[in-house]
Amino acid sequence: MIQKVQKAEEIAAAVAADMIAGRLGPGDPVPAVRELARAAGCSPGTAARAHSVLREAGLIEGSPRAHAVVTAEAPERAVAMAARTGGDGAARLSGSDDPALDLLLTLVGPAVERAPAGRGSVAGLGMLAQGAVDAAAVHLRDVGTGRANDPFARRVLGGRPATLVHLWSREQGIVVPQGNPRGITGIADLHGAALATRAPGTGSRLLLSRLLREAGAEPGPGGELCESHLGVAVAVTTGAADAGLAVRAAADAVGAGFVPVEWEDFELAVGAESLGAIAPLIDVLTTPSFRHRLSAMAGYDLSRAGDLREAA
């Protein structure tokens, strides 16, 4: 039985390799079970198991036996599947929210999963320090040094080795209603405004607090506490808040106005022993197909995507 399972996984890996190489593209038919069995020299049952492996990985869809086709996400997911071969299950990720990260995780598929807790940069680093996750998404700037992420990863992990993986730089700004009725041009104009904010401990909440303090601005009463950047944008467009700080992509998604504030590095802090676990994510991150998909979302810079450095 074990040999049949291994054979099915080998057949699935071979089909996935065809997807990576471009011999099978999105929408193309996948060899039917009996055809696959003849080509691989195995039983129809083993070929059916290979189909199941491909389906569970999100590489094929459609009729279980005869009319399966390659999914739109298959090129990226095939890369993730190849990267995790021989691994010990899904890597666990906590930390910051980002629309592009949601896209990346969708394409990576079951190789990497979000932990139900640990939302926000600070909470994510805490879970990483406890060993509860393999990586934490962070975007924190040290006020004293101006450095991004390194000082926080080093402090929270108590000096233990950690690697920072650069995902992208992203543009944060003030989300305003379409037409910008309050005439907001910068942080100082948020004085007295009802703001949509992220939870305490999130990188965006810390950034907003710093910017308000530097501008001498004090928000007004009301506003909305939001779980995500998209939630901030929705709160503004529905009138629950006058404005909020979020990434440009969230504002664009709901047709809101956007006043640019600053670019920041969005990265993964990874324990030294977990780099292999998140390899599928890094591999998909650096594919041309993912870069093409992300190019449709405004406010991202992938020029350093995939760069690794030791937290110092």
Of 72, 96, 125, the domain-final residue: 72
Same domain assignment for residues 154 and 284: yes
Structure tokens at 68: 């399966």
Of 46, 72, 98, the domain-final residue: 72
Domain span holding position 26: 2-72
Same domain assignment for residues 144 and 281: yes
| pLDDT score for 84 | 61
Neighbours of 306 (CB within 10 A): 14
Q: Is the dihedral of CA 81, 84, 90, 92 positive or negative?
A: negative
- Establish if 138 belongs to a structural domain: yes
Distance of alpha carbon 142 from alpha carbon 150, whole angstroms: 9
| pLDDT score for 42 | 85
| pTM (two decimals) | 0.78
Among the listed residues 251, 250, 246, 241, the one whose alpha carbon sits nearest the alpha carbon of residue 261: 246
| pLDDT score for 186 | 97
- Establish if 310 belongs to a structural domain: no
Pairing of strands 243-247, 195-198: parallel
**CATH number for 130:** 3.40.190
- Establish if 77 belongs to a structural domain: no
Phi/psi at 201 (nearest 5 deg)?
95, -10
For the chain, 312 residues long, the average pLDDT of each consecutive 10-residue run is 69 82 85 86 86 87 77 83 64 94 91 86 90 92 83 79 92 98 97 96 94 96 94 97 98 98 96 85 91 94 94 76
**CATH number for 18:** 1.10.10.10
**Cβ neighbours of residue 35 under 8 Å, at least 6 residues apart?**
none
Same domain assignment for residues 178 and 251: yes
Number of domain units in the chain: 3
